[in-house]
Structure 1
């Protein structure tokens, strides 16, 4: 559920970043000197909003990456570990984007009109980058938690577990043994738990 909420938040952040970006695109008009000061404030506000959006996205990315890592530790198998590593890398990218957005906001607070406008655009782009990285982190986290769930009696799906075994870096004979073990356990939760524990113990 937390990952689903994270995905919803990511979509909202991405849309907000896009709106900020669109609002600050140059339209080719010349701003009269008397309007320069007046134009700085909206641009600065847009820059701050983009920086906040990027920071929120990075926080979500860090959260879902932590969930993926937890799932990896509980499952202890390569597919989950790989998804968790991808989520962590995406979270780092989101944090970097948030840093860029914060730097742009600082520039806007100190600069003249032209730097402020550019800073707003830089911050909006950084917010979009952070949202995209967070989306990637959430997708990887969903994959990690899904695989982790499949390797429990409660979330067991025979076809999906068979695919996981087939994709494991183990010998064909060992794959066949694991698949027979899982199939034999059937719908008995205790036997199935033992069989899935065997799968996790053998898989890299």
Structure 2
């Protein structure tokens, strides 16, 4: 700012000198020579100032470009790091989900196997119990499949636990139920049961 004021003062002085010289018909030639030198010096300083400003502007522009490039590089690096981190997290999550699914499948398979084994054991035990009960009934059938020893409930149980077809079971049970209060009909119904069960000698 000080240099600019000096330049302006020198220019004003030179202009004043030139004006006096023009009005006085060249009497101030020596003074004009000094003024011209001052104007040249001022012009040189002004040119230097302009060059300095231009150089400073160029330097500032280069600094701004460098800063922008550094900022862009930093942002790109940060984005790449974020993408890498997200990819790694996704891969870890996928691996964990796969492991969990495999573990769940193994657990379900084991549970199904245990359930099937348990059901088979229960069925086997039930079949054994039914077979034992049927055998006991069959051993005593000769007693309650007679008119004197007739036991309606045991006859029904014997028919239900037999290996006869359901339709045959229903027919025999209906016949016994109808005849249980009639001695003549009961004898025929019991004979039908014995024949169906293979107990008739």
In the superposition, the TM-score normalised over structure 2's length comes to 0.30
- Answer 1 or 2: higher relative contact order, Cα 8 Å, separation at least 6: 1
In the superposition, the TM-score normalised over structure 1's length comes to 0.29
